[in-house]
Amino acid sequence: MKHPRAHIFQHTPDSLREWCAEQGWPAFRARQILEWVYAKGEINPGAMTNLSSREREELARSMAFLSGDTLAHQRASDGTQKLLIQWSDEPAPDAAPHPLKILHPEHDPARQTECVMIPSESRRTACISSQVGCPVGCRFCASGLGGLDGNLSAGRIIEQVWRLSRLPEVGRITNVVFMGMGEPLSNFGPVMHAVRTLASDWGLGISARKITISTVGLPKAIERLAVELDLPVTLALSLHAPNDELRRRLIPWAEYTTVAELLDACQQWFRKTGREITLEYILLGGVNDQPEHARQLAKIARTIRANINLIRYNEVDGLPYRRPETGDVHAFQEILRENAVNAHIRASRGRDISAACGQLRHEKSITGTEAASPHTAT
């Protein structure tokens, strides 16, 4: 069996120094290699001119720099860019106990994830995936239609941000949101590893305050996050319903916890970190967007230090949910504000390129077509 190559984005300075020592190289080579990859954006060992020719050859032979192929690169009219990545079949070193299932060697949805770059005047936000598919199975979401196919390693999580930073007209990524495919807190170790690399000076140098981890709500994992992660990240709770009955209809995992238990975990988060919670609320036309839902949500939000992001649903082929009416969205927000709740309507971005979670992978899988002009961002 072929031994998998090490993945550069998996490494920390300590682990890369150990790897260099195994090759008989001086310890400072690790710092030089990481500078090439992160500070200079270079993944071609042949261009790393402060390494010897023999070292460059060995690095190219022994180290994987990109762990997958870009199957599709789409750009929306608003500047949003989206990548569909198919990962290699090499085992991901820290992705157990859910290794990727290999079903077909070509264009296999069980090995594909999406990531999105969302531009604004002052920000370049990377929306990234933590798993292939999703175990939660929200009724309205394309990400979990096929269930969970595997966890992503820390290296593959970081690689998404690096790839997005190398797309045309992007440059430095300023913000990262774990709001792509998967439930980040059910892939806890790799996500924590990735967050530390993204925020480190030797890595991508993104302020931890500009990194958001979004969860459907795992109380024990939220409490663990508050204790173990020594970085001031933002926590976002995907609530999507203001009561247990409706939430359980929309989110299968809600059977295992209650809104009250989630609120308690969020209160503990605030007490331990001093960081407000963001409540994410996807508005589904005629389902959870009525005035009574807004009043219930306001009551919940006032029990914790939180702000609310209202998100208009992006339709998914084959699912029965529809986008809410504009008037209903603004009326919902107004009720929240009348009840002294800080609520914002999040702008819809990338609708013309299926930018919502899992949509591109879902559409490619049901059509069986290849994306036009696939290429790797380098």
Please give the helix or strand (H or E) that residue 211 lies within, else none: strand 211-215
CB within 8 Å of 320: residues ≥ 6 apart = none
Task: Count CB neighbours of 288 within 10 A.
Answer: 27
Distance CA 255, CA 246 (A): 11
CB within 8 Å of 54: residues ≥ 6 apart = none
Catalytic residue of the set 20, 55, 114, 141: 114
What pLDDT, on the 0 to 100 scale, is given for residue 108?
67
What pLDDT, on the 0 to 100 scale, is given for residue 171?
87
Residue spans in the chain of domains classed CATH 3.20.20.70: 67-367
What pLDDT, on the 0 to 100 scale, is given for residue 330?
97
Tokens of 40: 């200079």
Q: How far is CA 169 from CA 79, 81, 125, 230, 353, in A?
A: 9, 10, 13, 33, 18
CB within 8 Å of 143: residues ≥ 6 apart = 133, 134, 180, 181, 182, 357, 358
Is 53 in a helix, a strand, or coil? helix
Mean pLDDT, contiguous 10-residue spans, the chain (378 residues): 74 97 97 98 97 97 94 92 88 42 52 93 94 92 83 97 94 95 96 98 97 94 92 96 97 94 95 95 97 97 95 91 96 98 86 52 43 30
Residue appearing with tokens 């960081």: 275
Q: Is 127 a catalytic residue?
A: no
Is 104 in a helix, a strand, or coil? coil
Q: Is 114 a catalytic residue?
A: yes
Residue spans in the chain of domains classed CATH 1.10.150.530: 6-63
DSSP state of 5: P
Architecture of domain 6-63: Orthogonal Bundle (1.10)
Catalytic residue of the set 141, 280, 357, 363: 357
Q: Residue type for 203, please?
A: G
- Contact indicator for 246, 205 with CB cutoff of 8 Å: no
CATH topology of domain 67-367: TIM Barrel (3.20.20)
